[in-house]
Each structure stands twice: as C-alpha cells, then as structure tokens.
Amino acid sequence: MNYARTALLLAAMTAILMTAGYLIGGQGGLIIALVVAFAMNAFSFWNADKIVLRMYRAKEVDSRSAPEFHGLVADLATHAGLPMPKVYLIESDQPNAFATGRSPDKAAVAATTGLLRRLNRNEIAGVMAHELSHVKNRDTLTMTVTATIAGAIGMLANFALFFGMFGRNDNNPLGFVGTLLVAMLAPVAAMLVQMAISRTREYSADRGGAEICGNPLWLASALEKLDAYARGIDNHRAERNPATAHMFIINPLHAHSVDGLFSTHPATANRVARLRELAGQMQDRAAGPRATSVPVTDPGPTRNRPWG
C-alpha cells in the first residue's frame, strides 16, 4: 500500500510539473518542462549524494577513526542483508541522521556528532537501523527524484513570474492568469505532495528500522529525544538549506516557526505510538527474547562515549 501511494504521489508531482509547463508555454512549455526535469533527475541520480554530503561537510569515518559507531552500522547492515554503506559524521550539536545514495550498493549513512553524544547505544542502533531501512527500500532515490521535480517546479514558477511581469508569451493558453497560477500555486502543490511522500516513507522506515534492530522501543525512545533536542538546538546548515530537511530522521528545522512551511515529517507522537504498538505485536508473537535481534546493549551513561 505504501509503495502504491508513493507511486501515485510521484505521478501527481509529475502532473504538476507538466501542467505548470503547459500553462506557461502551451505544448512547447510542457515538452521543455519534461526535458528540464529529465536532465535534473539524471544529474541528481549520479551526484545528489556527493552534493548533500559536501553541503553538510560530512567526514567519512572507518573502523579505525570511529570503531564503535562504524562497527554498529556494520552489524546492522549485515542483519539487514545490505552491503556495508559508507559512514559519515557531521559536526553538529543537534542529534540527527540521514541516508543518501542512489542504490544500496552506493549508499551512505550520516549521523551528527550530537547524536553520538546525546543518545545511548541502543537508541543510536534504532536510528541507524531506520536509515538503513531507507536504503533497503530505495527511499533515498525516491526522495532525490521528488526533491528534483519540486526544484524544477519552483524554477518554472520563477520563470512564470519573470515572464509574466516583463514579457509576453502568446503560447500561454490562459494568458496572465495561467502565469499567476503557476507562480503562486504550483510550488505550494509540489510542497504538499513532497510532504506526503516523505511522511509515507518515514512511517515505512520506522517499521523497517525496528525490524532491523530487533526492538521498536529503541527507535521510539530515540525519536522522543531527537524531537526534544531539535526544538532547542539549531542545525545551522539545515536552516540555510531547508529543501534538504526531508532527508533527516527528525525535522532539523523545528527551532523556528517559519520552518513549519517545510515540514516533511509525521508528528513524532504518532510515530512513537506506532512503534509502541509494533513492540506489543512483536512481544505477542515471540516467547522470550527476540533471537534475531542485533546484540547491541546499553553501555551506561550517555556522555563521554569513545566514539572516535
């Protein structure tokens, strides 16, 4: 059901793009819009992961520079049946994480230094399992395509506004009215569809992450902490690049009310409730400890961890 809904939403996003192109320039505008979207998606397919990691100045770590964290991701990836992704750290006090890459073979997962400082090992396992679930479901590619189409729609809206004010286009089927519709409504419609796609994928990744780490309550506890910290700690790079907010496990833009316009995440309380319900279902199905859980235990206090 989630995959079908995502496919329908992607089709809606494409329809918005085509309609915007048609309203600006008729049939020719429609074709140009599709060509632009194809070109942008091709570029994003090959380069989006590098761009976003560079944007956040993420530094790759390995088993020598961050042995515990790298080893934890390796254990989770093995349990999920995934190739080992590249692992990155981002210098930010706000605890958060995201995954990127066009396929499981080319995936990367990134966590902030705040995540490693402020969460215990079980909670970190839940967060990184969530990100690996995104990788396994190829959500990283889906969200890259979505963000690219949304960017193309925004670009068309800017063109519409410019040509509507300073130019004349006889191919526009609705004239100035069509131009205004594209400039004002297309970006809003694209944003709403993008939000719907992201929220659908977040719920799926929560469930998949709980299954990968073996305990939904680890992720539930992590989400509650992440949400509380994000409300009080700014992620300055995310504030400067709000279009990337959908990538993170928790909206990094909670600190300012204006950022609600870019909210692409379900309510944390709803996510936690679903995870607690899943934990009850898993407990009912299994007698005793879950044998297939990743052997991750809480090493004690959450501060001063030797993460590297």
Enzyme catalytic residues: 131
91 is in an annotated binding site: no
How many residues appear in the chain? 308
DSSP-based three-state secondary structure for 111: strand
86 - beta bridge partners?
108
130 is in an annotated binding site: yes
Cα Rg of the chain, angstroms? 21
79 is in an annotated binding site: no
- Using CB atoms within 10 A of its CB, is residue 242 exposed (0-12), middle (13-18) or buried (19+)? middle
20 in the Ramachandran plot: left (φ > 0), alpha (ψ -120 to 50) or beta? alpha
Phi, psi of 290 (to 5 degrees): -75, 110
- Which CA distances in Å does 174 have to 167, 169, 207? 15, 10, 46
- What lies within 8 Å, CB to CB, of 294 at 6+ separation is 75, 76, 79, 125, 129, 212, 213, 214
Residue with tokens 């020719």: 28
Annotated binding site: 130, 134, 202
Annotated binding site for Zn(2+): 130, 134, 202
